[in-house]
Amino acid sequence: MPKIKEEIEVIEEIAPPSMYCVILHNDDYTSMEFVVMILRTIFHKNYNEAEAIMLKIHEKGKARCGLFSKEIARTKANQVKILAKQEEFPLLATVEKDL
C-alpha cells in the first residue's frame, strides 16, 4: 500500500493578551512624596512623570500608573499595598481591565 503524506495547514489566530491598568487613588493621609517614590520605584517613572501623575491623583482623585499584563498589574498593586502598609499609609492601588 503506498504511503500518502498529507499536509494540513493550521492557522490559529492568537489574540494578544488583555492588558490591565494600575490605578492609584487619592486619600487624605498619604504624602505626596510617598506617592512620587512609589511611582518612581514600582512603576519606573522619572521624577517629572511621577510628579505629574501624583498631581493628577491629587486633583482628579485617581490616575493610571501603567498598563501591564494581568499578572504584572496585580503584582505591582500588591507591591504598592505592602510599601504603603510598611509606612502606615492607606494608599489604594486597584487593577482594571483596559478597554
pLDDT digits (tens, 9 = 90+) for 34-67: 999 999 999 999 999 999 999 999 999 999 999 9
Domain ranges of the chain: 29-97
User: Strands, E, within the chain: which ranges?
Assistant: 19-25, 62-69, 92-97
Read off the pTM.
Answer: 0.82
Specify whether the backbone of 48 is left (phi greater than 0), alpha (psi in -120 to 50) or beta: alpha
pLDDT score recorded for residue 2: 66
Contact at 8 Å (CB) between 34 and 23? no
Whose CA is closest to 49, among 36, 30, 67? 36
Per CATH, domain 29-97 is 3.30.1390.10: yes
What is the average pLDDT score of the chain? 93
Angstrom distance (rounded) from CA 50 to CA 64: 11
Q: Torsion angle of alpha carbons 58, 35, 62, 21, nearest 10°?
A: 160
**Cell numbers representing residue 63 in the block:** 490616575
Count the residues in the chain. 99
